[in-house]
Amino acid sequence: MKIDRIFLFILACLISSACADLNYTEETTRDEDWTYEYYGDGLKNMVFDVYAQVYSGEFDSNSAYFLAGATDEAQYALETGAVNNYVNGGWSTANPYSYTWEKSYRAIAEVCMFLEKLHKADLSEWEHNSQYHNWVQQLEIFPYELRFLRAYFYFELFKTYGDVPLVTTTLTNAQANSVVRASADDVVKFIVDEIDEIAPHLPATYTIVPGTEIGRATSVAAYALKARTLLYAASPLHNPSNDKAKWEKAAEACKFILDNAKAWGLSLSSYGSLWGNDAFFNPEIIFGIGRNASNSFEMAHYPIGVENGSSGNCPTQSLVDQYEYQDNGETFAQRYPGDIDLSSVDPYEGLDPRFALTVVKNGDEWPSNGTQKKAIETFIGGFNAAPKYGATPTGYYLRKYVDGSCVTTADNQVTTRHTWIVFRLGEFYLDYAEAVFNATGSANDATYGMTANEAINVLRNRSDIQMPEFTEDGDAWVERYERERLVELAFENHRFWDVRRWKKADKYFKTVQVANISSDLQLTRSTVNRQWSDKYYFYPIPQSEVKKNPALGQNPGW
C-alpha cells in the first residue's frame, strides 16, 4: 500500500473566507444549525480550523527565527531577534512565549466542542447531491482525525510544560479557571490510549477515501506521534528514576513503525531531497506542513549581500565541529582543534556529505539560482560578512531548508513550495536506537530484532551518505549518538527539545563556538556565553493564566 504523504496545506484561503463561525448573531444566517447542516463551509471548515493550529505561530519552522537560534545549532544574526530572549535572560512569566499554551488549548476546545455536537451533523438535505456519499464517508473519519489532533496538541503541551490540565470536555469560563494540572504521566497515558483507539479507524492513505485529499491525519502519523511521545516520556527529564519499562515501550513503538514502513509505502530518501519544491512527494516524510509557493524563508536566511537576504539562523562552529570525516569517523573538532589557515588547507574536504547540504561556508557558490549565484565571502570585510550589519556572527550561513532556486531580487522573483517536517522515517531509526540502548543497556543487543548500532547504520549507509559505521557501546556510544542525532536532524526543530529531555543543557547550551575568519583567511574559534537556568527545562505557565486560575501553580524556578 502506498501511503499518501501528509502535508498540512490548510487551505488558508478557504479558512479565511468561509470559516465556520459559531459566534453567530441574528444578523447572519450562518448559525450553529447551519454549520452542522453544510459540509464544506460548515463541518469541514470546523476541522480545518483545528488543523490550522498545528505548528503555526511565532516559533514554528516557517518563522525567520525558529528555535535553532536558541540551541548550539545556530546563532540568530540580528540581536533584535525575539528568539534571543531564550538565551539572554529576556524570558519570564510575563514574557513566556505562550503561543503553545494558547494555540493548543484553543484547538483542544474546538475538538471537544465538535465531538460533543457531532450528533447534530445532518446532511440529509443533500442526499441528491453528487458528492453526498463522499461527504458522508469523510464525515465518518472526522472524529478520529480530531482526536489525533487533540493528542498531538497534548504532546506539544507535555513536552513544553510537563504537567498540564487534561481537559476532554467543553468547559465554562468558571470551570476553565479552576482546572488543575494532571501529571505528565497521565497526559502521556491519555495520548497513547487515544492513539491505540483511533489509529485503526484512520486510513493509512487517503487514496482510498473519497476525494483522495491530502493534508489529513493517517494511522501512520498517529503511530509516529505515539512513538515520539513514549521516547520523550522515557527520557531523563520525564523519567528521573530511569524506569526501563518506559524505554521498552518506546522501543516497541518505534520498531512497529520500522517494521511496517515498507508496507505503508515509506522509504528513506536522499538527504538533500527532504526539502525544496519537490519535497511534497518525498517518500520518507510521514507528517509535514506544506506551504504554498513563497520565498520569505529564503529572504530570512539568504546571506547579507544577497539582495533581500537577512542572514537568519547562522550555523555555529559548535555544529560544524560535530561532523565526522568519511575516512575514519574523526570529527572536525578532533582533526582541527585549533586555528586553521584556510588559505593552505581545506578542512571541509571529506566531511560527512550532510555538512555541505546543511551549511554554507566561505567560498561556496550560493544561492544556486542563476540570477543571484556567487561565491560567498564570510571573511572580515568580505561581501557577505562583517562589518555589514546583520552579517553572519558565526562564519557560516544556513543551506538546509533554504531553497536556493528561489530568487529574491526586487524584480522577477521566483518562489517555490516548502514542506516543514514534523515526522519522517529517518527520525525513528534514531528514536529506536536510543530507546533500545536504554532498554537493554547495550548498543549491540538484538532483543528487539535490530540492535541500536544496526539502526543507526541504516542511516549512515544511505547511498548519498556512506559514513563509517557505529560499533561503539556504553558512554562512547551515547556521545556519538547525540552527535549523530544533531547532524541528521539539524534544523528540524529537534535539538531544542532533545537537549532538554536529556537534561544536558549544561553541556550543550551554556556556551557555543563561532568561527571568525580574518581577511587573510585565518579561522579562529571564539566562545559565545549564553544564559541558562535549569528552570528553562520547562516553559513557565503564562502569568496571565495563573492570575486567572491560581490552581495551576507555576513550574519550578519561575
Determine contact, residues 435/427, Cβ cutoff 8 Å.
Answer: no
Q: List % helix, strand, coil for the chain (3-state, nearest 5).
A: 45, 10, 45
Determine contact, residues 68/74, Cβ cutoff 8 Å.
Answer: yes
pLDDT for position 216: 80
Is pLDDT above 90 for 27?
no
The closest alpha carbon to 179, from 108, 113, 131, 277, belongs to: 108
The closest alpha carbon to 437, from 248, 216, 287, 201, belongs to: 248
Compute the distance between CA of residue 99 and CA of residue 91 in angstroms, rounded to an integer.
Answer: 14
Mean pLDDT, rounded, for 113-141:
79
Band the pLDDT of 56: cuts 50, 70, 90: low
Band the pLDDT of 36: cuts 50, 70, 90: low
Mean pLDDT, rounded, for 210-222:
79
Which range has the worst mean pLDDT, 41-55, 81-95, 195-209, 403-417? Answer: 41-55
> What cell was used for 487?
547532524
- For the beta carbon of residue 241, count every other beta carbon within 10 angstroms: 7
> H or E stretch including 368?
none
CA dihedral sign of residues 515, 520, 522, 527: negative
Compute the distance between CA of residue 318 and CA of residue 484 in angstroms, rounded to an integer.
Answer: 14
Is pLDDT above 80 for 211?
no
Q: What is the pLDDT of residues 128-164, one digit of tens each?
A: 777 777 777 788 889 999 999 999 999 999 999 999 9
pLDDT for position 127: 76
Mean pLDDT, rounded, for 312-328:
97
- For the beta carbon of residue 301, count every other beta carbon within 10 angstroms: 27
- For the beta carbon of residue 68, count every other beta carbon within 10 angstroms: 29
Is pLDDT above 60 for 326?
yes
**Which pTM value belongs to this model?**
0.92
- For the beta carbon of residue 546, count every other beta carbon within 10 angstroms: 17
**φ, ψ of residue 250 in degrees (nearest 5):** -65, -40
Is pLDDT above 70 for 473?
yes
Q: Categorise residue 82: left if φ over 0, alpha if ψ from -120 to 50, beta otherwise.
A: alpha
Compute the distance between CA of residue 392 and CA of residue 528 in angstroms, rounded to an integer.
Answer: 14
> What cell was used for 462?
544511505
pLDDT for position 22: 39
The closest alpha carbon to 216, from 289, 281, 107, 283, belongs to: 289
Q: What is the pLDDT of residues 275-296, one digit of tens each?
A: 999 898 899 999 988 888 999 9
Determine contact, residues 228/399, Cβ cutoff 8 Å.
Answer: no
Determine contact, residues 355/319, Cβ cutoff 8 Å.
Answer: no
- For the beta carbon of residue 221, count every other beta carbon within 10 angstroms: 24
What are 424's strand-pairing partners?
285
Mean pLDDT, rounded, for 496-523:
98
